[in-house]
Structure 1
Amino acid sequence: MPRLNAIPDAELTPAQALVCAEARSGPRGKIPAPMIAWLRNPELAGRAQKLGELLRFETSMEPRLTELAVLVCGRHWTSHHEWTAHKALALKAGLAPEVIADIAARRAPDLQCDRQRAVYDVSLALLTVGRIGAELYQRGTAQLGEQGMVELVGVLGYYCLVALTLNAFELGIPENVAPELQDPQFPASRPTA
């Protein structure tokens, strides 16, 4: 059960209603799940959802690369709702089901595309150790360009915010529990830590 519920439209403050209208009229066409929590601070909700629009729809990276990075992030944080939503988007963008299954199982996927390999390796390094070495940085920049590397870091940072928001407030749980992410030590709802 979510710890926070969506605020009914009739109970939204003018600032909250404005942010909701902006989200609904944007490329998503709906209020993204983390906004259920972010609306408690309408300024945060507005700025975060706009950043999300930019990073998901308006970067130099093709959707397959963006969704690959989001899945690595969702798996890192075991964010069930993020994983469920972006697994579908990744498949639609053409990411191979085997690659998605490997990420879910925390196995290195067999990526034949150099750009995908760079996105995966940079994402994994940043999420696990918080840094990327010189060789990986050079490879990532060669594949994505400087702009693409900056955008990739932005995508990862934004989707960490999304994952932590979804996890903290148990948004999308239990309906979006992803069986492939289940870990007996950390169930989808209310981990002991």
Structure 2
Amino acid sequence: MRIKLLSPDGMNADQKATYEEAVAGKRGAAPAPMMAWLNSPDMARHATRLGEQLRFNTMFPPKLSEIAILVTARHWTAHYEWWAHKRLALKGGLDVAIIDAIRDRRTPSFDDPKAAMIYDVAKSLHEGHGLAQPLYDAAIALLGERGLVEIIGLCGYYTMVSMTLNTFDFGLPDGEVSELT
């Protein structure tokens, strides 16, 4: 780890208030990257609130939103992010074959057209830096404007998460081994 993470006892009032707000939220804990973001308490507060919104309050169930998160984690080879969200994707009902395909940088087979669209949009955002008109039109038709905005939000937020985890070299919990190469 390249950054010293603060314990609650070592936090100033702003940091501690942000930390306590996160712990009291839907996650029930402070998300790992927030522990680095606490060096900028206002940023940590806003980023953590955005993360909670995107994780728990989009129009998509976890089975679908985790596709965008996993594509983002794989794009950035974010070991911690992949480890954390693979577990959440499995818990949300995402097929392990889809997860393995994303891990291996293969296009998964989807039975659900929305899942396929989320994958295509996330891949295009990361690799193409946007959406070509035909993909945009198809995404609007299938997901609607709100859905597309929320997929963009998921990819953008988890890009920031992945950059944070990678930059500060967050390790996996003891005994865990990364699946990403």
Query: Which position in structure 1 is the counterpart of 2:169?
Result: 170
2:86 and 2:7 map into 1 onto residues whose CA distance is: 28
Matches of residues 150-189 of structure 1 in structure 2 within 5 Å?
150-173=149-172, 175=174, 176-179=176-179, 181-182=180-181
1:43 and 1:109 map into 2 onto residues whose CA distance is: 39
Matches of residues 104-143 of structure 1 in structure 2 within 5 Å?
104-143=103-142
1:117 and 1:54 map into 2 onto residues whose CA distance is: 23
| Stretch of structure 1 that moved more, 157-166 or 142-151 | 142-151
1:64 and 1:130 map into 2 onto residues whose CA distance is: 24
Matching residue's letter, 2:14: A
1:139 and 1:121 map into 2 onto residues whose CA distance is: 10
Runs of 4+ in 1 over 6 A off after TM superposition: none
Query: Which position in structure 1 is the counterpart of 2:54?
Result: 55
Instruction: Give me the TM-score of the superposition, normalised by structure 1.
Output: 0.90
1:25 and 1:83 map into 2 onto residues whose CA distance is: 24
Query: Which position in structure 2 is the counterpart of 1:93?
Result: 92
1:45 and 1:177 map into 2 onto residues whose CA distance is: 28
1:112 and 1:173 map into 2 onto residues whose CA distance is: 32
1:172 and 1:41 map into 2 onto residues whose CA distance is: 21
Matching residue's letter, 1:119: I
Deviation at 1:105, TM superposition (A): 0.4
Identity %: 43
CA deviations 1:116-159 (Å, max 9, x no partner) are 00000000001001011111111111221110100110110000
Question: What secondary structure is seen at the aligned counterpart in 2 of 1:34?
Answer: helix
Instruction: Give me the TM-score of the superposition, normalised by structure 2.
Output: 0.96
Which 5+ residue runs of structure 2 have no aligned equivalent? Answer: none
CA deviations 1:48-83 (Å, max 9, x no partner) are 000000011111112111101000000000000000
Residues 43 and 177 (structure 1 numbering): CA distance in 2 closer, same or farther, change over 3 Å?
A: farther
1:166 and 1:87 map into 2 onto residues whose CA distance is: 16
2:94 and 2:165 map into 1 onto residues whose CA distance is: 24
2:23 and 2:94 map into 1 onto residues whose CA distance is: 27
Deviation at 1:177, TM superposition (A): 4.2
Deviation at 1:44, TM superposition (A): 0.7
Query: Which position in structure 1 is the counterpart of 2:71?
Result: 72
Query: Which position in structure 1 is the counterpart of 2:24?
Result: 25
Deviation at 1:174, TM superposition (A): 7.0
Aligned residues: 180
Residues 21 and 156 (structure 1 numbering): CA distance in 2 closer, same or farther, change over 3 Å?
A: same
